[in-house]
Every structure is written in structure tokens, then in C-alpha cells.
Structure 1
Amino acid sequence: MAELAAILLVVGALAVVLSLLSWLASRVRRRGVGGDVMGPLDEIWHPAAHRFRAEIEVHEERVLPLPAPGDRPHRP
């Protein structure tokens, strides 16, 4: 009986850890903070991904916001 309880405890703990990691991954994707966390690891283990992420950040800084539908055109 003690072996069964130990096995259930391990399986339950594993399920809790995996569900927490799944929740954390979805939260990181929604908020877009994964690059800050994974940046140093990507730079070491996958330099092409790090360079690609840096190019995306530069591009996002250059993009001008589109005017809202109700905005009037700017006239000099």
C-alpha cells in the first residue's frame, strides 16, 4: 500500500509541475516576455535565433503606428 501511495504522490507532483509550466508558457506567449528570458540562452546555443530576434526588435522599433479609423489626415 505504501508503494502505491508513493507512486501516486510522484505522479501527482509531476502533473502539478507540468500544469504550472503549461500555464507559465501560455502567460509568457500572451505577454511577449519570452525573448527577455530566453535571449542569453539563444545567444549561446542558437545564435541564428538570437540574431533573428534582434532583427525583429529593430523592425518593431521602426514601424510607424497606423492612424485610427476616425483620425483626420495630417495636412501641412
Structure 2
Amino acid sequence: MAALLAYLGTAASMAAVAAGLVWLGRRVRRRGAGGEVMGPFEEIWHPAAHRARMKVEVQEECMVPLPSPGDPYRR
């Protein structure tokens, strides 16, 4: 009986960790906050993807928003 409880406890712990990782992955994708968390690991294990992500971030920072057509402060 003790062995069965130990097995069920281990299985429940592993299921809880897996569910937590799934939840965290969905949250990061929805909010787009994965770069800050996974950036160092991506740089170590997949440098090409890290360089591509850095190029995209630089391009996003360089973009200038266009003024609205009816904007009174339009130059």
C-alpha cells in the first residue's frame, strides 16, 4: 500500500510540473514575454535563433508610427 501511495504521489507531482509548464508556455506566448526569460538559454543552445530575434527587436525599435489622417498635429 505504501508503494502505491509513493507511486501515485510521484505521478501527481510530475503531472503538476507538466501542467505548470504548459500553463507558463501559453502565458508567455500570449503576452510575448518569452525573450527575457528564455533569451540566455536560447543564446547558449541556439545562437542562430537568438541572432534572428535580436534583429527583429532592433527593427521593431526603429519603426516610427505613422500619424493618423485626421491628426491636427500632423506635420
State the alpha-carbon separation in 2 of the partners of residues 41 and 11 from structure 1: 28
State the alpha-carbon separation in 2 of the partners of residues 19 and 67 from structure 1: 44
Normalised by the length of structure 2, the TM-score is 0.80
Q: Tell me which stretches of 4 or more aligned residues in structure 1 moved more than 3 Å.
A: 64-68
Aligned twin of 1:53: 53
RMSD: 1.8
State the alpha-carbon separation in 2 of the partners of residues 66 and 28 from structure 1: 29
Normalised by the length of structure 1, the TM-score is 0.79
Give the secondary structure class of the aligned counterpart of 2:53. helix
Ranges in structure 2 where 5+ consecutive residues have no aligned partner = none
Which of structures 1 and 2 has the larger relative contact order (alpha carbons within 8 angstroms, sep 6+)? Answer: 1
Aligned twin of 1:63: 63
Of all paired residues, the percent bearing the same amino acid is 53
Aligned length: 73
